[in-house]
Amino acid sequence: MPKAWIQKRKRDYYYRKAKEEKYRSRAAYKLFQAVEKYRFIKEGDVVVDLGAAPGGWIQAARKIVGTAGFVLGVDIKPIEPFSEKNIKTIIGDITEPDTTKQILEMLPRKADAVISDVSPNISGVWELDHARQIDLAQRALEIALETLNPSGNFFVKVFQGEMLNDFISMVKRHFEDVKIIKPKASMAKSSEIFILGMHLKG
């Protein structure tokens, strides 16, 4: 990694906060901030976290759901195990149909929230990264439709670009209320934003 990038990261407020508070990634604060505003995860909930490695969102979700809830982290890469009994993780590619089956088998009941921070490997070619991200977000939406309980919530990362409006329309077809969110912890210069679909339509 370039030295300048490592130095910049060390100066970053949320990077240092995550280190101090023992979160595995600064991304945890993006989830905390979005949930604080829209309350789409609550105590006792069952949460599926897609693209969960190294596990910052898992920790944040577990803190919100508490001991009565359940968090399942899914990633194509292995996730270091957690000691909490109500956190489970699986290795799975969200583009593979079998992954949905695996998720359903692991859940104690259908999910109250499906959250996705899945990112493709960034190529640096903006249109390509946008298209890949939208493709993964659509796959996350399909998993959400199969694993959420009626009136469940869906929260997903996307990159801004020309395919975004079509994706938002797709989310609107399935959820009562749709919000576009840029949490404070998300870098201002990053094109990432989050789409929240609240209350799956019956």
Ligand X SMILES: C[S@@+](CC[C@H](N)C(=O)[O-])C[C@H]1O[C@@H](n2cnc3c(N)ncnc32)[C@H](O)[C@@H]1O
Residue 157: active-site member? yes
Structural element, H or E, at residue 46: strand 46-50
- Segment contacting ligand X (CB under 6 A): 25-33, 64-72, 81-89, 179-187? 25-33
Q: How far is the CB of 182 from ligand X (least distance, A)?
A: 16
- Of 94, 141, 148, 198, which lies in the binding site for ligand X, with binding defined by CB under 6 A? 94
Neighbour order of strands in the sheet with 70-75: 87-91, 70-75, 46-50, 111-116, 148-159, 192-200, 175-181
3-state SS, residue 201: coil
- Of 47, 48, 53, 64, which lies in the binding site for ligand X, with binding defined by CB under 6 A? 53
Token pair of 85 as six digits = 């009994």
> Whole-angstrom Cα distance, residue 48 to residue 8?
32
Encoded one letter per residue, x for contact with ligand X by CB under 6 A and - for no contact, window 109-148 reads: --------xxxx----------------------------
Residue 105 or 150: the one with the smaller Cβ distance to ligand X is: 105
Q: Which one is catalytic: 30, 85, 157, 182?
A: 157
- Of 12, 43, 93, 176, which lies in the binding site for ligand X, with binding defined by CB under 6 A? 93
Answer whether 159's CB lies under 8 Å from 130's CB: yes
- Segment contacting ligand X (CB under 6 A): 4-12, 48-56, 162-170, 178-186? 48-56
Token pair of 45 as six digits = 């909930």
Does 25 interact with ligand X (rule: CB under 6 A)? Answer: yes
Please report the DSSP string for 92-114 in residue order.
--TTSHHHHHHHHHH-SSSEEEE
Residue 52 or 163: the one with the smaller Cβ distance to ligand X is: 52
- Of 3, 11, 22, 77, which lies in the binding site for ligand X, with binding defined by CB under 6 A? 77
Structural element, H or E, at residue 136: helix 126-147
Answer whether 64's CB lies under 8 Å from 35's CB: yes
- The footprint of ligand X (CB under 6 A) covers 24-25, 27-28, 51-57, 75-77, 93-95, 117-120
